[in-house]
Homo-oligomer: A and B are copies of this chain.
Amino acid sequence: MSSSLKARVFITLKNGVLDPQGKAIGHALNGLGFGSVGEVRQGKVIDLELSGSDAEKAKTELKAMCEKLLANTVIEKYEIELK
C-alpha cells in the first residue's frame, strides 16, 4: 500500500465577522431548553487524504490550498491539523 496522510482543515469566520447561522443555532438550542449555551459560531471542516508521507511538504501544500481555494481569507481563517 502506498503511504498517505490524513489532514483536517477547519475554516471558520474571523472574530468580529457576523455569523447569523451560528446565532440561529444558538437561539434554537436555547429554545430547546439548553439554557447554558452562549455564543455559537459555525464553520466548515474538510477532511483530505493526501498521497505521500512528508508531513512538512503536506502542510505547505495544505496552506496553499487554503489560500487559493478553501478559505475566503478576507473573512475566514483556517487551521490545519495533520493526523
Q: Report which A residues bind B (CB closer than 8 A).
A: 4, 10, 12, 22, 25-26, 28-29, 32, 34, 36-52, 58, 61, 64-65, 68-70
Q: Are A46 and B50 in touch, CB under 8 angstroms? A: no
Q: Are B43 and A45 in touch, CB under 8 angstroms? A: yes
Q: Which residue of B lies closest to A52 (CB)?
A: B36
Interfacial chain B residues near A39, Cβ < 8 Å: 48-49
Interfacial chain B residues near A44, Cβ < 8 Å: 42-45
Interface residue from B28, B49, B52, B69 paired with A69 (Cβ < 8 Å) = B28
In addition to A26-B48, A36-B52, 15 A-B residue pairs with Cβ atoms within 8 Å of each other are: A4-B38, A22-B46, A25-B46, A29-B48, A32-B65, A32-B68, A34-B64, A34-B65, A36-B51, A36-B58, A37-B50, A38-B51, A40-B46, A42-B45, A44-B44
